Chains A and B, each alone.
Chain A
């Protein structure tokens, strides 16, 4: 069985879903009062595209052997993944309010396994820099068995400071892993400062090219463009492909946009309300209604 087809959304609906994902992230973080806002908001368009157009999966059967493998190497981006997994039907929407709380499956950083594991999470992440190697191993193993599954790995740009990423991407091109597609969340922000100030990455595309990858640069906040780039990556044979996707940290919330200081903090109550007022409700509906949202607005006379 294949779960993707019934999940595929039109471009208009993908945009609406991306907005819903942003609303969910804000509400989730307002409840947890802990967690990362900036990166996850910037990735809403990419995650809507991945789970409602690109990836093959079956939410009822997360370990379906025909699935595509998706690895979130930068585990702190979990909020956008968690809400997308809920929206895609991997676990109940209401569970989103348990992020980072004791006994939750929505651990601060993605957890696999039987204790705290969330369906759809293949392997742990959180300590940066390890996802590329895992994706390389999975791709090689699947190829040994002549399996057609595609493997995807998503990295933060700051995460690329970790040397292990480059070891992995050297291995990927050495073995011509064209069933592997990497996505770099190129938002130019990390914790301490903007990426080029903390540790210069540019010319980033040239670096990946010189390591033997097919490089596609695209706008990660424009869904049509991202889908096109993904198609191009999947069609490319002989080398692994990377999408260097330009995104904006905090995208969709005016006071967070392109500001590295929103990397790791949740919105306060007031900031959350402000953020939600900038993100129009969608037909998919919120997973929770706060008390203040239920109040009947005062009629101004």
Chain B
């Protein structure tokens, strides 16, 4: 098994920030909107470099989405930025009508997602945003796995000229394990580790957890495939079907509610093509709470150990299914 190494740590939101500054230079139509959390979501760098193309809307996310739609209508390329909960949840209907239904090429940029945002507590832990965004027709949903992939996703998002893109990222510094040679194409998943017994499909920060889990499984002679499903919509069906056929068991892992996120997307597809044993690693239909990110990952069951346990459950079910004696 190839081992994947971390080359230091950096925040995914920094990748967003760095991409914006480059895009500002490359494309004069790129504009950025901030809703009074500019430092935290790191659009302050763009605002400093291109003050005329930064629009402060105040703490008014619904307004921000409408303003973005208007900007897109007249040819600008708006990046609307705030925390995940206030990017997807708060202005949902504004996004639905003025952006998604109207096919406006707005980039909705959501930082501080997931339970790992920690001490701020449940109100700020966006665990429903993927569900809300992927249910919308015309929406592309991207959840990159590290600093560089976030940067590339933000830059690549310019290629989507019809309809909106939702890009989900996180607050904390996390391992960097992709590089320029790693393929990145919106809608095309990356198989990071090949394996034959089981497939772990993960997005966002859970990709790193999945890699660690695969190594732990390897030590127990279980060969786990790891897929980075950075694009949750449109889903890379080919890769999923192949994994289902070749490994016969799937674990999905995400920092999100168990309902309607990545896991659901995968199972919705497989239910219609090749029903496959699947275990879900996700927050189990509960709100979060304050605490450190790592503590919460453990308490709410989305740490690497939970992926390992889920893999074992899935393997047991797979064996049972084949009529073999479950060990």
Contacts and interface: CB of A to CB of B under 8 A. Distances in A.
Contacts, number: 101
Nearest to A113: B287
A109 B60 contact: no
A38 to B, nearest CB: 14
B232 interface: no
A198 B44 CA distance: 13
Given A34-B119, A111-B121, A111-B122, A128 B290 contact: no
B156 interface: no
A106 B120 CA distance: 11
A257 B149 CA distance: 41
B121 A126 contact: yes
B121 A158 contact: no
Contacts of B86: 127
Interface string B22-62: 00000000000010111110000000000000001111101
Interface in A274-293: none
Chain B interface size, under 10 / 10 to 19 / 20 to 34 / 35 or more:
20 to 34
B291 interface: yes
Interface in B209-241: none
B179 interface: no
A207 interface: no
B290 A158 contact: no
A146 interface: no
A116 B289 CA distance: 8
B123 A75 contact: yes
A125 interface: yes
A108 interface: yes
* Main SS at interface, chain A: loop
Interface of A: 32, 34-35, 75, 100-104, 106-109, 111, 115-116, 124-129, 158-159, 161-163, 190-192, 197-199
Interface of B: 34, 36-40, 56-60, 62-63, 85-86, 89-90, 118-124, 287, 289-292, 295-296, 299
30 contacts: A32-B119, A35-B119, A100-B119, A100-B121, A101-B290, A102-B292, A102-B299, A104-B289, A107-B121, A107-B289, A108-B120, A109-B124, A111-B122, A115-B289, A124-B122, A125-B123, A127-B86, A127-B89, A127-B90, A128-B59, A158-B36, A161-B59, A191-B36, A191-B37, A191-B39, A192-B37, A192-B39, A192-B56, A197-B56, A199-B57
Instruction: Report, nearest first, the 6 A-B pairs whose CB atoms are least far apart.
Output: A199-B58, A126-B123, A161-B58, A102-B291, A108-B121, A100-B119
